[in-house]
């Protein structure tokens, strides 16, 4: 096998592992409870159509791609968070709000609600990560008085 083919295979494998697999996991974790809620509320004639299932998978792909970008180290953290917010926001608008049309919610209100929830979730994640880093720093600085030499 040529070196170019091997590199392309590794690139495709990375793409599948970093974006497609997480998107499928997110999709499953989102779709199953959402479908159950739609069934409970609306019965057999629920509004969870194939079009909305496909649109939610598109959003999950955007979410997985932006999460892969967020985990990378090539950009600064504020830039990664800003790009994550933009990509997920555009994905939410394109795949979740736009297909609804004007039937249930004003897209501007939907985006406002999305970014409020996004800010709360990112603040919780940021506080958790900062706490973990502080704890790791303290553990690294600790030296036992009862070390055996």
How far, in whole angstroms, is CA 34 from its chain's centroid?
17
| Span 20-32, pLDDT tens digits | 899 999 999 988 8
List Cα–Cα distances, 119 to 84, 123, 125, in angstroms: 12, 6, 10
Quickly list H helices, 16-148. Answer: 21-42, 50-71, 77-92, 107-141
118-125 mean pLDDT: 92
3-19 mean pLDDT: 77
Three-state SS for 2? coil
pLDDT band at 106 (very low <50, low <70, confident <90, very high): confident
| Span 52-90, pLDDT tens digits | 888 889 999 999 999 998 888 888 988 999 999 999 999
What is the distance between the alpha carbons of residues 117 and 98, in angstroms, rounded to a whole number? 19
pLDDT band at 102 (very low <50, low <70, confident <90, very high): low
């Amino acid at each position: 096998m040529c070196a170019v083919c091997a590199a392309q295979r590794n690139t495709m494998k990375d793409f599948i592992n970093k974006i497609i697999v997480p998107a499928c996991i997110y999709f499953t974790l989102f779709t199953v409870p959402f479908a159950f809620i739609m069934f409970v509320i609306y019965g057999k004639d629920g509004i969870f159509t194939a079009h909305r299932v496909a649109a939610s998978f598109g959003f999950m792909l955007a979410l997985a791609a932006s999460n892969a970008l967020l985990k990378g180290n090539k950009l600064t953290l504020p830039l990664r968070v800003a790009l994550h917010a933009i990509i997920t926001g555009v994905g939410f608008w394109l795949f979740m709000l736009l297909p609804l049309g004007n039937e249930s919610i004003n897209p501007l209100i939907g985006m406002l609600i999305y970014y409020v929830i996004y800010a709360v979730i990112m603040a919780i994640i940021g506080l958790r990560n900062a706490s973990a880093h502080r704890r790791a720093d303290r553990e690294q600085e600790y030296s036992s008085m009862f070390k055996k030499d």
